[in-house]
Amino acid sequence: MIIPLLKGLATTLKACFSKPITLQYPEVKRPVAPRFRGHPELVINDDGDRRCVACTLCMVVCPSNAIRGIEAAEGENHEKYPVAFTIDLTRCIFCGFCQEACPKAAIKLNNLYELAQYDKSRLILDIDKATQEKSQLRMADWL
């Protein structure tokens, strides 16, 4: 009778002094693996410009038509840049094809995974919301 009781007590004490395996989510977030595929976002250079040259390769390669509405403009030195770009996260399957196809490394899948929404329209990102820094700020606002 007393032996099982002591065994149970020992197990409880052991658990009390061992490292917890749970996290205080959402205050503490679990780090994701380097190869984790979050939602695609447009990358910006150090100078603050988007790397994208509006070649539309990502749009062509996307198997679920999640990328659409890319419109290009031309700069003073005849460089192209996008003025419109839509990423529809309700269609995205996080395959990473857009990232692989991009010749400029201008689109990449980030490490964000808190994408649940009450309003689906918030998952349709225009060019500003799809751009790196703004994208991350927006995600933080959702919490």
Between CA 79 and CA 34 the distance in angstroms is 32
CA distances to 8, 32, 115 from 71, in Å: 67, 33, 26
Question: Given the complex with ligand SF4, which of 7 and 133 has the nearer CB atom?
Answer: 133
Q: Minimum distance from CB of 24 to ligand SF4 (Å)?
A: 31
Widest CA span in the chain:
87
**Footprint of ligand SF4 on residues 40-79 (CB under 6 A)?**
40, 52-58, 62-64, 66-67, 70
Which residues are paired to 81 by β-bridges? 73
| Contacting ligand SF4 within 91-120 (CB under 6 A) | 92-98, 101-102, 104, 106-107
Applying CB under 6 A, does 139 fall inside the site for ligand SF4?
no
Nearest to 64 by CA among 42, 33, 96: 96
State the nearest-atom distance from the C-beta of 55 to ligand SF4, in Å. 4
Which residue bears the tokens 């977030």? 29
Q: Report the interface residues with ligand SF4, using CB under 6 A.
A: 40, 52-58, 62-64, 66-67, 70, 87, 92-98, 101-102, 104, 106-107
